[in-house]
Structure 1
Amino acid sequence: MTADSPHLQLSPAPAHAALEILQRVYGHERFRGRQSDIIDHVANGGDALVLMPTGGGKSVCYQIPAMLRDGVGIVVSPLIALMHDQVAALQQMGVAAAVLNSSLTLDEMREVEGQLRRGALQLLYVAPERLLTPRFLDLLHGLKIALFAIDEAHCVSQWGHDFRPEYIQLSVLHQQFPNVPRIALTATADRETREEIRQRLALQEAEVYLTSFDRPNIRYRVTERTDAKRQLLALIEGEHKGEAGIVYCQSRKKVEETAVWLAAKGIKALPYHAGMDAEKRRRNQERFLREDGVVMVATIAFGMGIDKPDVRFVAHLDLPSSIEAYYQETGRAGRDGAPAEAWLAFGLADVVLLRRRIEESELSDQRKVVSRRKLDSLLAFCEATTCRRVALLAYLGETSQPCGNCDICLEPGDTWDATVAAQKLLSACWRTGQRFGIGHLIDVLRGETTEKVTRFAHEQLPVFGIGRDVDTQVWKTLGRQLVSLGYLIVDTEQFNTLAVSETARPLLKGETTFMMRRPTVKMGRGNRRPRGSTEATVAAALTRADVPPDLWEALRDRRRDLATAQNLPPYVIFHDATLLAIAQAKPARLEDFLHIPGIGERKMKRYGADFLEVLAAFR
């Protein structure tokens, strides 16, 4: 993909230039949050580390300074799909932008390099692997560089969830181009990760801009996994039918099986993982970006940098590795600001698997300690009895109040004192020799005379039958929580047997209590539509604005036709919010489009006549 437009003629007035670009190019009246401060700082030559949630407008923070300063802005980005989407969006607005990566032909690469040498580009997106080659660094030394932007900067951190070795070498930018400002950006990083980003990228003196990590439009729900595929199907059919979504699984096999099963149930589901043929992966991703209502079932190989704004749900069928990973992956929902959902189903097997991976990894002892702590924090979030958003933001260093938009706030239910039950389960584990799994311990507690119980004479133990009054599922939940919170230890080398940890001593002695939350609603059973769903939101907006549904569909059809003709996702033309604003305002002249958020001069000239034609049929 190459630039196809000349430089925009920007206002020379420095005090107003950034706002002028925002209004004329991007079609927005004012900056959000700290965008203006960041832009001013970088445009004046300062380094910055920006932590801003997905959908918060990070890209503007480096794109506008690149346009304000002399030379070309070099944007380091980890994924080809992300680069192409962002460059396509910039070109639609009339910005001279290009991408340089392995997806280009040799002739296309030469064309982009020629544009660079001629000073015809304002922004160039490049992968770290290419940027670090001696040939490309030599090319950069012959250019006037406006700034370096390092997107997805958490990739530099080995404490983080998406470590990429090439990112560590990006400190070369500071060494070889000491006078060029650098801005590193990420949507998620805890304190340890932030500090490593600063150290590895030599940004110790950089200004840090830390905005709220809250994504209030996302509803967080966590449920105990019983029948994962059927729970997922109920979620999609009951609450997100016909909507775009992402389903994350740990293994490639599970991805394939889940996608095939959903497709057989009438869901437009596609698989995506690193083991697939590259061309099939590319086709599936293209369908996800361009078609409505596609559900992508994927490993974490899919997702980072996906700019699709109307993903209405992200579902996890397995536990992610950390809260940072969970936050990053769920952040792919609701980028347009409309209501979206993050749904997670997990079980004891997840806890066992992730703990085993840490212990069997080649990490240093220090990093294993950090990894265990990150997993413990994620498990505490999953087992929480109070607002999930408060717990999530607290981990990221932010204080908040109960959100009213998570499963616990919406259905608080009752908590009950499970201390005695926990003591019984711990005692059963101890008295059976700490060499059995949860299933056998439950059989002993419930007084089941199974073959294994009889073989080991466990019906003779004083704990036999003392838990008949507690349902099997409750025992399973309690066992998972005791493992999650470290009271029980899983021996992964002995067929996942359980042992009592030292930390359980105060609980066994009655010196501390153990509270559990009673389930109040079966999550993912389709029993309630999330309040303010996209479908309901759009319908309500159309009704309030007295917009006929057939006008809305006609506008969507025209947008799709324009996108298809250019081989672009429809949202690159206009987001749904912009399209709805057109339906509400019903502009009668070309210049009226400039009053609609998201439409700058170039898009007004390029698409205004098409949409005036659609509107004319409804006057």
Structure 2
Amino acid sequence: MSSFAADQQLLRDPVAALERHFGFREFLPGQEPVVSSLLAGRDTLAVMPTGGGKSLCYQLPAMVMEGVTLVVSPLIALMKDQVDGLVRRGVPATMINSTLSPAEQTERLREMSAGKFKLVYIAPERFRSSAFIRALKGLPIALVAVDEAHCLSQWGHDFRPDYLRLSEALEVLEHPQTAAFTATATPEVRADILKVLKLRDPYVSISGFERPNLSLRITHCEGHREKYAKLKDLVETHRTGIVYCSTRKKVEEVSATLSGMGVKLVAYHGGMEDKDREWAQNVFLDRSYDVVVATNAFGMGIDRSDVRFVAHFDVPGSIEAYYQEAGRAGRDGEPSDCELLFNYADTRTQEFFIDGNNPGADLIRSLYAVVRRLSGAGNDGVLLTINELTETLNLKNSMQVSSAISHLVRSGHLERYDVPGERARGTRLVDPALKPDELPIDEAALDEKDRRDRAKLEAMIQFCYDQQNCRQQWILQYFGESDSTPCGTCDFCSEDRWQDQRAPSAEEFLIVQKALSGIARTCARTPVGDWEGRFGKGKIVQMLTGAKSADQTTSRLDTLSTFGILKSEGSAYVFALITEMEKAGLIAVRKTPYPLLGLTRRGTAVMKGDPHFRMGWPDRNRLTKSGKEKEAVQDLSELSFDEALFEKLKEVRKRLAEEAGNVPPYVIFGNTVLECFTRLRPDSESQAMKIHGVGKVKAERYLAPFLEAIREFAK
């Protein structure tokens, strides 16, 4: 029997093909229908969970089908990892990306034409070249597999403009059989993938997003100290894991701190040299190091199955990003922990990213005008770095400039080019006669993308604050799976969640009702009857305890019937009580530049008399006015610590120290005092002077700017 005939037989028997080429006797759940669809010649969209074996779904058909399979993959590290693994198994595979010289790329194309490879991994930026696409046209292409296909959707969490070029490339290649694979795609992203790739009568497989071996947990942390303690505990318990941070700077900070705590780790982010990133990836994969601290640039396609924990030091920008990254734990099916260390202040980093990824029409026109002006009459182009263009436009967020350039390149109004010997890429106009005010910009589409990105962050925040639902079930419903059941292992489902919580006493129930009634009176009522927050925690605590301040008068909170309703409890206790009510799901937190407090439907029911709830309870004896208030104020561990407010107060202290003749900052107030300010948020001199370290002389000399900063922060 000829080898081609044998392949024809295997086309009809996927299990036999699986055993012959990969040595497995059975498929993982969801794999076989996808493989069968591809072997039958159908275009396919497969949504499979991380660790569900997406790669095999196109690698196996590639081995059986006649011709070469092109795999579009977004990261060089991911390509190398998969190609190396295939070659070790004896599979003829290679890759084409920016690491190849023009001569090497030409030779690689020649080898593909000669039938040397069954799988060729290609970086999406290669499709910028029409010459490259024409070179592919003459090849016997069996299948085009688009990995991480959510990258082509502007509504996805990891949009990459080069992926959009696939639509044109497939047109030139006369629409070979095409398959798209992703681990995280909402219904709208799935629709976008089908539309952009123009899949014909596709087989759509959604294997399910459930990862029953993962325990999803949200820990609300008041500051970095609490986060580091949790990370140290995770490392000591599980040994092998990934810690995700939102920025390169944070990766370096967390790596340095954990290293100082004795954790053996490796760092990884996109700003590192290629060789350093490759080294970091390799030593993690070969188990020389078991902990990696990284941005989201790390992990896509990383094949290490024994990752026992994934921790997020900062909140991700979307549920899709969170679940994809969390899904890198436990790929061997063994129980693993996914810990998100949440502090609301961290959302500002994600808001910065959203601003950077969504330049408005005015900014896009301004950038175009600058390039047009600097290019001169001859359209010579502009040789400026992104940072230099950002300064020229008098902006602070260079991401906005990068995004505006990408928009203009995609729309065909700018082109970018490399200049030998220059670190900056050139930028020039495609049509020099076109004026900025004549640019055809779809402002509605820009606004819609901005709205969706902010909605994704809002969903992520609500997920973190939700105290009424199973974490896994919440996520599955987000992705459109409405028939899921509680996982039994997340922080909501696990028994230890309830150990420190109890039902209220009659007196405690009345206090909670008073607090909820006060919050309700500060809210706006929506058309559907919800209580939508308008004020932050600081102002609400002042209102409930009857604290006189200019803010209370300006906001007219001192006219409410609930003004001072919890005066006898004291601000320290009320502040701690509201924090616990948030955790219990009685209080809704609305995202604005600062969190605003409203009522959940559960909180509304309690306010109206339903006593059936459980929550943690602050120590009234220590925190109420009936106790020793001086001691209560000094022991503020149960009160919320806000890193952003702490940094703001340090800035005030630095300014005052400079004005006082560059004295050491601690001469003004020490860090311990600033931390107490951050937790207690005093609104008067008398309240601040109850803090150890705030005497009468210092209060008269320095206190006013700190109180003003605290009031401003609470707005």
Do they superpose with TM above 0.5?
yes
Bigger Rg over Cα: 2
Distance in 1, Cα, partners of 2:269 & 2:234: 27
Which residue, out of 149, 157, 161, partners 2:157? Answer: 161
Bigger relative contact order (CA 8 A; separation at least 6):
1
Query: Secondary structure at 2:489's aligned position in 1?
Result: coil
Distance in 2, Cα, partners of 1:94 & 1:8: 18
Does structure 1 retain, via aligned residues, the 8 Å contact 2:10–2:16?
no
Does structure 2 retain, via aligned residues, the 8 Å contact 1:389–1:403?
yes
Which residue, out of 459, 462, 467, partners 1:377? Answer: 459
Structure 1 unaligned spans of 5+? 1-6, 521-619
Which residue, out of 402, 409, 412, partners 2:486? Answer: 402
Query: Secondary structure at 1:408's aligned position in 2?
Result: coil
Shift of 1:260: 0.2
Shift of 1:241: 4.6
Query: Secondary structure at 1:193's aligned position in 2?
Result: helix
- Other-structure match for 2:26: 30
- Other-structure match for 1:21: 17
Distance in 2, Cα, partners of 1:375 & 1:415: 32
- Other-structure match for 2:661: none
Distance in 2, Cα, partners of 1:455 & 1:447: 14
- Other-structure match for 1:466: 566
Which residue, out of 529, 538, 546, partners 1:439? Answer: 538
Distance in 1, Cα, partners of 2:203 & 2:448: 29
Distance in 1, Cα, partners of 2:27 & 2:546: 66
Indicate yes or no: 2:379 matched with 1:280. Answer: no
Question: 1:182-227, CA deviations, whole angstroms, 9 ceiling, x for partnerless residues?
Answer: 0100011011111111111112521101111111111111111123
Which residue, out of 372, 386, 394, partners 2:469? Answer: 386
Mapping of residues 62-461 of structure 1, within 5 Å: 62-105=58-101, 108-178=104-174, 180-203=176-199, 205-237=201-233, 240-241=236-237, 243-351=239-347, 354=350, 358=354, 361-362=358-359, 364-382=446-464, 383-398=466-481, 399-411=483-495, 412-413=497-498, 420-427=514-521, 437-446=536-545
- Other-structure match for 1:476: 579
1:448–1:242 CA distance, 2 compared to 1 (3 A): same
Structure 1 counterpart of 2:487, which letter? C
Query: Secondary structure at 1:231's aligned position in 2?
Result: helix
Distance in 1, Cα, partners of 2:578 & 2:132: 60
Structure 1 counterpart of 2:306, which letter? D
Structure 2 counterpart of 1:375, which letter? L
The normalised TM-score by structure 2 is 0.63
- Other-structure match for 1:45: 41
Distance in 2, Cα, partners of 1:243 & 1:422: 43
Question: 1:34-78, CA deviations, whole angstroms, 9 ceiling, x for partnerless residues?
Answer: 322222221232100001111111111111111111111000000
1:48–1:419 CA distance, 2 compared to 1 (3 A): farther
Question: 1:249-288, CA deviations, whole angstroms, 9 ceiling, x for partnerless residues?
Answer: 2233222111100001111223323333443333323322
Distance in 1, Cα, partners of 2:473 & 2:288: 33
- Other-structure match for 2:651: none
Distance in 1, Cα, partners of 2:52 & 2:9: 27
Mapping of residues 482-497 of structure 1, within 5 Å: 485=588, 488=590, 490=592, 492=593, 496=594
Q: Which moved more, 1:143-152 or 1:283-292?
A: 283-292
1:285–1:356 CA distance, 2 compared to 1 (3 A): closer
Query: Secondary structure at 1:25's aligned position in 2?
Result: helix
Question: 1:461-512, CA deviations, whole angstroms, 9 ceiling, x for partnerless residues?
Answer: 85236162745334235569999946x563x3xxx485879x99x9599679
1:64–1:498 CA distance, 2 compared to 1 (3 A): closer
Does structure 1 retain, via aligned residues, the 8 Å contact 2:514–2:566?
no
Distance in 2, Cα, partners of 1:179 & 1:454: 68
Query: Secondary structure at 1:305's aligned position in 2?
Result: coil
Shift of 1:371: 2.9
Q: Percent identity?
A: 38
Distance in 2, Cα, partners of 1:517 & 1:509: 11
1:356–1:144 CA distance, 2 compared to 1 (3 A): closer
Q: Which moved more, 1:305-314 or 1:397-406?
A: 305-314
Question: 1:134-155, CA deviations, whole angstroms, 9 ceiling, x for partnerless residues?
Answer: 2221221121111000000000
Query: Secondary structure at 2:143's aligned position in 1?
Result: strand
Query: Secondary structure at 2:493's aligned position in 1?
Result: helix
Distance in 2, Cα, partners of 1:188 & 1:371: 15
Shift of 1:80: 0.6
Indicate yes or no: 2:615 matched with 1:518. Answer: yes
Question: 1:349-387, CA deviations, whole angstroms, 9 ceiling, x for partnerless residues?
Answer: 235654676578436332333234323332332223221
Query: Secondary structure at 1:271's aligned position in 2?
Result: strand
Structure 2 unaligned spans of 5+? 361-445, 504-508, 525-532, 618-715
Does structure 2 retain, via aligned residues, the 8 Å contact 1:75–1:124?
yes
Distance in 2, Cα, partners of 1:130 & 1:299: 25
Distance in 1, Cα, partners of 2:248 & 2:566: 42
1:498–1:187 CA distance, 2 compared to 1 (3 A): closer
Does structure 1 retain, via aligned residues, the 8 Å contact 2:7–2:64?
no
1:242–1:108 CA distance, 2 compared to 1 (3 A): farther
Shift of 1:173: 4.0
- Other-structure match for 2:370: none
